[in-house]
Structures are given as C-alpha cells and as structure tokens.
A and B are shown apart, each in its own frame.
Chain A
Amino acid sequence: MKILELFIKDIRGIREEIKFEPNGDNFAVFGPNGTGKSAVVDSLDFLLTGNISRLTGRGSQGMSIKEHGPHIDAEPKDAIVSAKIKINGINECINLSRCFLTPNKLECDGPRDNSILKEVLETAKKGQHVLSRAEILKFISAEAGKRSEEIQAILDISKIEEIRKAFVTIKRDADKQLTYCKSNYDISVQAISHLIGEKEVDCDIILAKINDRRKVLKGDALITLVPGTLKENISVMIADNKNKRQPEPLKLAISDIRNAIKNNGKIVFEKERKLRASFKQCKSNDVIQRDLKNKRLLDLGVSLIEDSGACPLCLTAWPQGELSKLLSKRILGTTQATELLKNIETISKEINEEVSKQALNVLLLLEAAKSENKTELISTFNIWTDSLKEWKEALINAVDNYSVEEPGVQFQAFLSPDNWITAINEIEKIANAQAETNPVQNAWDLLTSLDSVLERYLDEKNKYENAKMFAEKASILETAFTATKDAVLEELYNSIRSDFASYYRLLHGIDEMSFQAEMKPSGAQLDFKVDFFGRGMHPPRALHSEGHQDSMGLCLFLALNKKICAGKVQCVILDDVVMSIDSEHRRSICRLLINQFPDVQFLITTHNRTWARQLNTDGVVKIKNMYEFRAWNVDTGPLYGNKIASWDEIRNRLEANDVSSAAHLMREHLEFIFENVCSEMHSMVAYKSDSRYELGDFLSGVKSSYRSCLKKAKVSANSWNKQDQVKIYAELETQFKENVDRSQSEQWAVNENVHYNKWADFTKADLLPVIEAFQDFEEMFKCSKCGGFIGITQQGYIEKSVKCPCGNISWNLEVNK
C-alpha cells in the first residue's frame, strides 16, 4: 500500500485543510518544533488504525481520541483524514477515509471482499508503521522483559503470550488442585488403613481384607469393590455393634504414635526451631515486615483488579493491564520477604502434616477411651488432642498466628502429656482384649465400618487420579506450547537479527564490519545483545553511544517492519528519529533507505533543516515532496504554503507571467539545494556571524569544489592509466565551464530581481534563460539515476572519492603511488 494523496482536515494541530500529493513517492515534512508536523503523523496513524498511539500509550491518562484527536476548535464530525492509495495486485486506486465521529469505521471504496485489500487493511490496522524516538528507546533501552513486550506488541503476538500465561496458570492451578486432592485422598486412605490395620492401601488389599471377613461370615468372595455390597449374600446375620472399636486401627494408631515420638519428634523439633528463627528474622526487620505486608496487599490487589483494568479500591480508570503490570513489578521488588514467606509456608506445611497425622491417631485413642468409659484416659487424651489442635491452627496461618516467644523443646514429643506412655499402654490392653472377642462379630463390624468409608475412598481416589493426570497433561502442554512459541519466535528473531545486523553494518561502514547481534526468547523475556567492536556481546545500551543506539533502534524497526509489512503496507513513518545521529551517518541512512527499501514509501518528519535538505540532496525525497512547516498558530494550524518549489513549479509561475514570484522561488530553491551541496562537497564558504548566507556564498563554494574534485579525479585516473575516465572528466570540465559561464552571466539578474526588487523591469524572456542556466548547473551535481546529489567520501581526513547516494556517479580521488 502506498499513498498517492493525503488529505487532512481539523486534526490535532491542523486547522482547516491540508493536502499532500506524494504520488507513492517518499515525502518529508520539516520545520521547527511545534509547527504541526506530528499532526500529520497522528492523522495517518488514525486513518490506518482508528487510533492515535500518542494519545493511548503510557502517560496518556485522561486523554481520549474523540476529545483530543480533533483540532481544539473543531467538532469530531469535521475532523477527517482521507487518502488515495495504491495497492500491489489491485489495479484501481482506492480511497480511504476516517472521521473522528466514528473512529472505528474506515470508509473504503475498494472491493472489501478482496483478500489482498483485506490483508493490507488488517496489517495496517496493527499500526506498526510509525517509528518515533520514544519507540526507539522501547527497543534499545528497555529491560529484557519490557523489550519483549514491546517487540511482541509490534509483532502482534500478544495473543501467544496470553495463551502461554493461560497454560502456566492452568498448570499452577492443576498442581494446587493435585495437592488438595492428594491430601483428601491421603485422609481417606488413612481412614481405611486404620480400619484394616495396613499401612499400604489399594483396591486389591482392601478387597482381600473384605473377602477374608466375608469368608468368616460364610459369604462368597467379591470381585469388585462396590460400596454398599460388602455385606450382600452373607448367610450369617449379625446386629451392628457401633460402639465397639476395631482392634486393628487402635493397634496401628498406637504404633504410629510411638514411632512418631521416637523417630520424627527430633526432626519436627528442628523444623519448629527453624520456623521460629524465620519469624524472628521477619519480625525484627522493618523492611521485611513492610515488604511482607505490601506483598500480601499487592497480591490481593492484583487478584481484585476490575475487568476493565480499574483500581478496585478507588475505581480510578487505568488502561487495560497497566495497573496489574505496575503491581506485579512492585511484587517483584519484595524478593527477600517473598523468599522468607515461602520458607515459612514450606516448613509450617511440613510440620502440619506430621501434627495432623498425630492428632488423628490421638483422637482414635480418645474415642476408644470414651467407649470404655475410662475417665482418666479421656482427660489425658482430651488435653493432648486440644494441644495438637491448637498447634495445627497456629500452623495453618503461621505468618499471623505463630508465636515467636514460646520455647520449642516440648514439640519434640508432639506436645504429649507426661503420662502418655502409661495411657497408651492402657489403650493397647483394650485393643488386645477386643481382638479376642467373637471373630464373627469383628468381621461383621469391620465390613460395616468399611462400607461407610469405602465410597469416599473410591471417590477421592478417582479425583486424585484425575487431578494427577490433568496436572501431568497441563505440564506437558505448557512445556510444549512454550517450546513451540520459542522455536517459532527464534526463527523469526533470527531473520530479524540478520536483517538488523546487516542494516547496521551498512550504516556504520568499515567501523562496524564485524557487527553481530543476538536475540533470544527466554520465557517471557527477550535477551538482546550486540557486538561492541569485536570485544564481545553486550546489551545495546551498555557501551554504545546514544547516536549508535538510535541507529540500532532504526535498524531494528526497519527489520521488524520488513517482516510484518513486507509487500503489504509499504508506507513507513519515521517521526523525527535521527536526533542523535551525525551528518555522515545520516547520509548512510539515506543510502540504506534508497538501496534496501526501494519499494517502501517513507514519510519522514524532522525539525532539523539540514537533515531535510540532505533527504533531498541524497535522493530520498524529491523536491516536490518536501513540505516545510514554517510556523503554527492555534487559529490557522501550520503555515506551510511556502514549500520548496520544483523547477516545474518555477517555470509554471513564470509561464503565468509572475516573474517576481518565479525568481523568488528559484532563489529559495537554489539556496535550499546548494547549502547542502556545499556541506557534502566540503566547500569553502566565507563565515558570517549572522548566518545570513545568500545564494552567491554557496555557488562560489560549490563551483570551486567541483572543479577541484574533477581535477583530482583526472590526476587519479591518469595515475591508474584509465584513459576512458580521463576523457569523461575532461568532457565534464568543459560542460561545467559552459554552465558556469551561463549562470555567472545571469547571476546578477537573480540577485537584482530578488534582493534589490528591480524585478519590475524584467520580463519572462529575461528570466527564462536564467532559470534554464541554473537548472542545468544543478543537474551537474545530480545523479540521473537516483536523483541524489554528489558528495565527497573520506576516510579519516583523506578524501577518497566523489559519489552520489546510489554509487552511479563515482570519481576516484586516490592516486596510484
């Protein structure tokens, strides 16, 4: 897509109407700051995207397209931008138009169902055709994570990142769910384990135990475990004896309690000591305390952010995702507190698991004591149970509830009372006595008890297995998606990296011939490193100058843009991007734009007049497409009428018999061109402290330089014995002399006309030969192929050659020694 015509009315700083007719070629808008150049960029941005990135990016709270897009004195319905465009593959020109009254509606008179047009408009809508200096900083100066976000936004892969995050969240949630299901499953296993007196429990073991008991009760063996069927088809019928405890669970609980106190007590005691130490560290350090408090507040804040992105507390509107990003950044800052909190949570969870098991076992002993009405034992186990319960509760929310002061030694025996050994021995006697009662009654009672817990066991087992499988798959899918994303992006980054490094080498010539770059996706980040003069790879802003960083940003943008817009949106806007780049490298930029992007239409804005002139003299922008914004005021918008006239426009003015105007435009044209040619040809111009240079000052300089260069080129060609070249230079000398003679003879007329207002005495016939002479004179400095002007290239202080931007004109100045 290229722009043939662009019409802007009442947008941002533009009042009334302004029209550009680049006809698919590059065009430039230049002028001092505050003259309305950015309004042109914003208008084109709005036309293609329905948005103005300047009004919606960071730091733009309180701004809106409808309110701040139109000129301050205009209504949204009057603020319109339209363009006549040409798209490769579609014969007819297409008119696009968008109004601020309906920013989401793009009027298009082209075939909307045409797939080429559709793809072009969709690519254009991504808005990745504008590069400003702020954008450069995003790529070059940003942290790895931020840069990745910015580049992902440009590549329009935010959806991929959204999916990746979803996979990560699903995996994390699945792991949490798995922990929860495992805990419930363990409890149900423990319940069965206690009943059957086996530590390891699975369906086969349970079935075997059931069938053992069914055999005692003269029943057939069951094939599958189905709750409610355990006592089916049993010939012996016995009444349930719910008060009787099974001896096996009691025996297992007793064994567990003894083992835990003997073997795990010391481990739990050490863990408990570490837990207290962590609390002390936490409570004695104000920074950790504050961070801890903030972290929990921030975590809560992130989870409560409104769908619209607004603050959940004060309801202030934030751009979507921005508040979440800010809070996440602050959460990252609380690293030490986070680590400490994680440590506390891990230890308290481990202790809690041990204490819970112990509490369950002691509870079983308490119930046995109750069923036997043993008052003293009931009291002992009640106290023990309460202590364990209290400990458990403190561990559940350890950060808030756990005491720092209490000594930890008593925890070595799981808070057991002094008489715990005697009490447990008593219960063991009860269990042994129970085992000696009627085996038929015991078998019946076990089947009854198992029936009541089997359903839950099977249900929890099923949930646990499902959660386990889900967590496994979620993990595999998350890894697979991240690997796929990284592979696709790496391939993409490799091609961008290669173009980026190649453009950078072209800009910086022999200084950076070995320049290389690395771009590696790493999780949510993008690591970007560049070579520093063969001294290793470093972050782009670590060692390179600001000018080099700017040129890197430009190269990276052009490489990215080539990837995204190739062949579709061939219009790129460079909005004042060469601020820190010196004149010599700007020339390289011109060569890069001409040679590497011959099919791309550039709109270049700049406040720098020298760069603007260079764009013309180096062949990037034709003179007819140079738009100068000289001043601006709120009522009229940019004062831009006096753009630099082309020779055709000068001749047309003369044709219309407006001699004075034609003469004025010609002088302005020549001054604009030859000031830059002076610079490129290293011409001597007498210094003026008031900088009021006139055409005559530039002309004498460039004539002298041209002659001198031709002379050197002839000497060089002779030294290399290139007689053909010598002949060409001799012909150029003759031609130049003729043109100089013609222009010198008429030069007085220009000055007379323009500077001394004697134009009234001149006619069309007087001025026409002057115009012809100067046009021919100008052509001597211009390449017929690329339209760029010649300039001297040098290495260090040695002048090496005279070249045009495309290299079609090339005079060697070096002598064969």
Chain B
Amino acid sequence: MTQTLPDQVISTFLAKIKSENILNTSGTEAVHAALSAEQFKKKDLEEAIQLGLKDENT
C-alpha cells in the first residue's frame, strides 16, 4: 500500500532520531510504537522518551 502522509512524516522523523542518536535504541523503538499505534496516546510517547534517556550499557 502507498505510504500515507502521517506514515511518511513518522518514518522520516524516526530516521532522523536514529541517525542523530537522540534516544537510545529501545527508546527509539518505543517512540516508533507510540507514534504508529492506532490510538495515539501522549502518555505512551512520554514514557518512550523517558525510556530513551537510560544508559543501555549499565
């Protein structure tokens, strides 16, 4: 199926945060899940960002 505009914005945004290492891997994945959810919830996004701050090496 053709990519919808929201999908296009979300995928470009995710590529940007991945390439610039703004969040850690699991945080980026959680942001992806929050933004792609059928029912978008601000709380999920907030939690994903929080998760993305943690040092994954510790």
Q: Which residues of A contact B (CB under 8 A)?
A: 115, 118-119, 155-157, 159-160, 162-163, 166-167, 169-170, 466, 469-470, 473-474, 476-477, 480-481, 484-485, 487-489, 492
How many residue pairs at the A-B interface have CB separations less than 8 Å? 69
Among A159, A477, A485, the residue within 8 A (CB) of B49 is: A477
Q: Is the CB of A470 within 8 A of B40?
A: no
Query: B35 at the A/B interface (Cβ < 8 Å)?
Result: yes
A469 to B50 alpha-carbon distance, docked (Å)? 9
Other contacts beyond A484-B16, A488-B9: 6, CB < 8 A: A163-B40, A170-B45, A470-B49, A470-B53, A484-B13, A489-B5
In the bound complex, residues from chain B placing their C-beta under 8 Å from that of A118 are: 1
A159-B40, A166-B42, A170-B45 known; A119 and B6 CB under 8 Å?
Answer: no
**Hey, what's the 0/1 contact readout for B7-38 against A, CB within 8 Å counting as 1?**
01110110011001011000000010001000
In the bound complex, residues from chain B placing their C-beta under 8 Å from that of A163 are: 6, 10, 35, 40, 45
> Can you pick out 20 interface pairs between chain A and chain B where the beta carbons lie within 8 Å of each other?
A115-B1, A119-B2, A160-B5, A160-B6, A160-B9, A163-B45, A170-B46, A170-B49, A470-B49, A473-B23, A473-B53, A476-B22, A480-B13, A484-B9, A488-B5, A488-B8, A488-B9, A488-B12, A489-B9, A492-B5
Among B5, B8, B23, B40, the residue within 8 A (CB) of A162 is: B40
Query: B57 at the A/B interface (Cβ < 8 Å)?
Result: no
Chain B: minimal CB distance from A433 (Å)? 49
Query: B4 at the A/B interface (Cβ < 8 Å)?
Result: yes
In the bound complex, residues from chain A placing their C-beta under 8 Å from that of B1 are: 115, 118-119
Among A159, A162, A469, the residue within 8 A (CB) of B53 is: A469
Minimal Cβ-Cβ distance residue in A for B52: A473
Q: Is the CB of B12 within 8 A of A156?
A: no
A96 to B8 alpha-carbon distance, docked (Å)? 30
In the bound complex, residues from chain A placing their C-beta under 8 Å from that of B12 are: 484, 487-488
A489 to B42 alpha-carbon distance, docked (Å)? 22
A796 to B9 alpha-carbon distance, docked (Å)? 49
In the bound complex, residues from chain A placing their C-beta under 8 Å from that of B46 are: 170
Chain A: minimal CB distance from B18 (Å)? 11
A358 to B6 alpha-carbon distance, docked (Å)? 53
A156-B4, A156-B5 known; A480 and B40 CB under 8 Å?
Answer: no
Chain B: minimal CB distance from A279 (Å)? 37
Minimal Cβ-Cβ distance residue in A for B35: A163
Which interface class (under 10, 10 to 19, 20 to 34, 35 or more) fits B? 20 to 34
Interface pairs A-B: 7 shortest CB-CB:
A166-B42, A484-B13, A159-B6, A488-B9, A484-B12, A157-B5, A119-B1
In the bound complex, residues from chain A placing their C-beta under 8 Å from that of B17 are: 477, 480
A119 to B6 alpha-carbon distance, docked (Å)? 15
In the bound complex, residues from chain A placing their C-beta under 8 Å from that of B4 are: 156
A7 to B40 alpha-carbon distance, docked (Å)? 38
In the bound complex, residues from chain B placing their C-beta under 8 Å from that of A162 are: 40
Minimal Cβ-Cβ distance residue in B for A157: B5
In the bound complex, residues from chain A placing their C-beta under 8 Å from that of B50 are: 470
Chain B: minimal CB distance from A149 (Å)? 15
A492 to B49 alpha-carbon distance, docked (Å)? 29
A162-B40, A487-B12 known; A477 and B22 CB under 8 Å?
Answer: yes
Chain B: minimal CB distance from A159 (Å)? 5
In the bound complex, residues from chain A placing their C-beta under 8 Å from that of B42 are: 166, 169-170
- The listed residue with most B CB atoms (<10 A of its CB), out of A155, A488, A492, is A488
Chain B: minimal CB distance from A218 (Å)? 36
Among B10, B22, B23, B53, the residue within 8 A (CB) of A466 is: B53
- The listed residue with most A CB atoms (<10 A of its CB), out of B5, B22, B45, B50, is B5
In the bound complex, residues from chain B placing their C-beta under 8 Å from that of A119 are: 1-2
A469 to B23 alpha-carbon distance, docked (Å)? 11
In the bound complex, residues from chain A placing their C-beta under 8 Å from that of B10 are: 163
Q: Is the CB of A157 within 8 A of B53?
A: no
In the bound complex, residues from chain B placing their C-beta under 8 Å from that of A159 are: 6, 40
A86 to B13 alpha-carbon distance, docked (Å)? 37
A169 to B45 alpha-carbon distance, docked (Å)? 11
A170 to B31 alpha-carbon distance, docked (Å)? 13
A474-B49, A484-B9 known; A166 and B40 CB under 8 Å?
Answer: yes
A160 to B11 alpha-carbon distance, docked (Å)? 12
Q: Is the CB of A155 within 8 A of B5?
A: yes
A444 to B50 alpha-carbon distance, docked (Å)? 41
Chain A: minimal CB distance from B48 (Å)? 10
Minimal Cβ-Cβ distance residue in B for A566: B2
In the bound complex, residues from chain B placing their C-beta under 8 Å from that of A480 are: 13, 16-17, 20, 22
A156 to B6 alpha-carbon distance, docked (Å)? 8
A169 to B49 alpha-carbon distance, docked (Å)? 13
A155 to B6 alpha-carbon distance, docked (Å)? 9
